[in-house]
Amino acid sequence: MRRIKLTIAYDGTAYCGWQRQEGCATVEETVADAIEKLTGVKPELIGASRTDAGVHALGNVAAFDTESPIPGEKFSYALNPFLPDDIRIMESEEAPEEFHPRFDAHRKRYEYHIVTGNVCSPLASRYAAHIRGELDVEAMSRMAEYAVGTHDFTSFCAAGAQVKSKVRTISAVTVTREKDEIVIAVEGDGFLYNMVRILAGTLIQAGLHRFAPESMQAIIEGKDRALAGPTAPAKGLRLCKIRYDGAGKAEDDGE
């Protein structure tokens, strides 16, 4: 038996997230079906991040066990013809038998994309949240600095998350603008359910001058979801990269 690691990109618009659900199209089920068509055996697919409905990915990671003789690096080419156009295997390789996409991850990088202005192009609206008017990027950047470090992020976790600890380490948060698009990039050792989207919604409030940048410290210390901003729409979120090359372990309750 061999373990194959897949790096997967997808447009999450048509899916109820990554994780398999009864009666609903998911990325996990679609990829597993493609593997079955190729190898004749439906695998137990292990995903690194259980992205939420409507969330996109450029580099989610999954693994499965197989007895197929196909070389590990060839699975990407072999599987893509069995997948719809909105899901692609970007890379594939053989991994050690003990490799676990979720528990062996060290850092994850997400981006949240926002388009400002009175009108949002239909080419952008599928992959970015639209905020009419302008956002103060400097204020958003100042607020974002308070989120860097190791904190209890209870204020940034959706209700009902089943995790033992809500302490996470955020190594970087940046807010940049290019013309009418603003990108919030967040990198850390793991994320709580909806954490990045709530963080983005809170930074948007600072950009609209509804929250003072320094209020981030009180929001974190308050450990109360009601203190933070609204959960930003799923379509603006992208899982960009999962790193397996550092110290520590990532923890993720899904995004």
Backbone angles phi, psi at 81, to 5 degrees: -65, -20
CA distance 232 to 250: 23
Per-residue pLDDT of the chain (255 residues; tens, 9 = 90+): 999 999 999 999 999 999 999 889 999 999 999 999 999 999 999 999 999 999 999 999 999 999 999 999 999 999 999 999 999 999 999 999 999 999 999 999 999 999 998 888 998 899 999 999 899 999 999 999 999 999 999 999 988 777 889 999 999 999 999 888 999 999 999 899 999 999 999 999 999 999 999 999 999 999 999 999 999 999 999 999 999 985 545 555 556
- 27 within domain boundaries: yes
One domain for residues 117 and 59: no
Range of the domain at 90: 2-95
In a domain, 192, yes or no: yes
Q: What is the pLDDT at residue 162?
A: 72
Shared-domain flag, residues 165 and 190: yes
In angstroms, the CA 251 to CA 108 distance is 9
Say if 227 falls within a structural domain. Answer: yes
67 domain-assigned: yes
Q: In this structure, are 226 and 160 located in the same domain? A: yes
Contact 51, 12 (CB under 8 A): yes
Domain boundary among 46, 67, 95: 95
Residue positions annotated with a catalytic role: 52
Number of domain units in the chain: 2
Q: Are 61 and 48 in contact (CB under 8 A)?
A: yes
150-174: burial string, b at 16+ Cβ within 10 Å, e else: ebebbbbbbeeeeeeebebbbeebe
CATH of the domain at 90: 3.30.70.580
Q: Check which CATH number belongs to the domain holding 122 and give it.
A: 3.30.70.660
Same-domain check for residues 130 and 50: no
Q: Indicate whether 197 and 167 sit together in one domain.
A: yes
Residues 68 and 153 in one domain: no
State whether 88 and 160 are in the same domain.
Answer: no
Question: For residues 69, 50, 189 and 206, what is the CA-based torsion angle, rounded to 10 degrees?
Answer: 140
pTM: 0.93
Q: Is residue 7 part of a domain?
A: yes
Which helix (H) or strand (E) element contains residue 200? helix 195-207
By the 8 A CB rule, do 21 and 202 touch?
Answer: no
What's the chain's Rg over C-alpha atoms? 19
Which of 69, 95, 121 is the last residue before a domain boundary? Answer: 95
Q: Is the same domain home to 81 and 118? A: no
Q: Within a 10 A sphere around the Cβ of 123, how many other Cβ atoms?
A: 8
Q: How many CB atoms lie within 10 A of CB 208?
A: 16
Q: How far apart are CA 124 and CA 197, in angstroms?
A: 18
Instruction: With respect to residue 255, please indicate whether it lies within any of the assigned structural domains.
Output: no
SS3 118: coil
Residue 251: inside a domain = no
Q: Are residues 74 and 11 in the same domain?
A: yes
Together in a domain, 73 and 141: no
At which of 59, 75, 95 does a domain end? Answer: 95
- Tell me if 101 is assigned to some domain: no
- Residues 126, 232, single domain; the answer is yes
Residue 237 and residue 166 share a domain:
yes
Give the β-pairing of 87-95 and 2-10: antiparallel
